[in-house]
């Protein structure tokens, strides 16, 4: 009987100790989940620089044409388009990208280039080179 009472007392003590220690980690978890550590990490990390190319298609005319742009491998590149006509934007990179342009304003297409070199960005229907991106 003494052995059973001793085991019961040890189990009860372990249970109480287990409950007490689980409360502390939950509180710690709650504190870190409120964002105390996360904003500090976010503040330390700066968002990647983006290359932006603004394009206007109006009355069959394209602005810009043959713009020279610099970018880095895997750097986000955004082409913002205001257009009065449907077209297709082709990015001759590795891998290639194709985007359908609608006759509307405020369109944005984002891509990255994985292989360094010169990359042409062209409009398919208007047969115009909007920009050449030198990717290093």
What tens digit of pLDDT does each residue of 29-55 get? 322 222 323 334 344 555 669 999 999
Percentage with pLDDT > 90 across the chain: 62
10 Å Cβ neighbour count for 72? Answer: 15
Same domain? 59 vs 122 = yes
Write down the pLDDT at residue 94. Answer: 84
Q: Which residues contact 3 (CB under 8 A, 6 or more apart)?
A: none
Global model pTM greater than 0.85: no
**Do the Cβ atoms of 78 and 50 come closer than 8 Å?**
yes
CA distance linking residue 117 with residue 133, whole number of Å: 8
Same domain? 68 vs 26 = no
Structural domain of residue 109, as residue ranges?
Answer: 51-135
Same domain? 40 vs 55 = no
Same domain? 115 vs 89 = yes
Q: Given a cut of 80, is residue 13 above it in pLDDT?
A: no
Please provide the DSSP assignment of 38-83 as one string: HHHHHHHSPPPP-EEEEEEEETTEEESSSEEEEE-TT--EEEEEEE
Write down the pLDDT at residue 97. Answer: 96
Query: What total of structural domains would you count in the chain?
Result: 2
């Amino acid at each position: 009987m003494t052995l059973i009472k001793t085991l019961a007392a040890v189990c009860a003590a372990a249970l109480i100790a287990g409950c007490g220690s689980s409360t502390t980690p939950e509180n710690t978890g709650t504190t870190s989940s409120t964002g105390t550590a996360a904003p500090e990490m976010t503040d330390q990390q700066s968002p990647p620089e983006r290359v932006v190319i603004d394009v206007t298609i109006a009355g069959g005319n394209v602005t810009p044409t043959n713009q020279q742009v610099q970018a880095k491998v895997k750097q986000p590149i955004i082409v913002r388009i205001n257009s009065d006509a449907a077209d297709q934007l082709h990015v001759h990179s590795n891998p290639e990208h194709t985007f359908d342009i609608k006759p509307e304003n405020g369109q944005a297409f984002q891509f990255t280039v994985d292989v360094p070199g010169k990359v042409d960005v062209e409009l398919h229907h208007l047969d115009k080179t909007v920009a050449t991106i030198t990717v290093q």
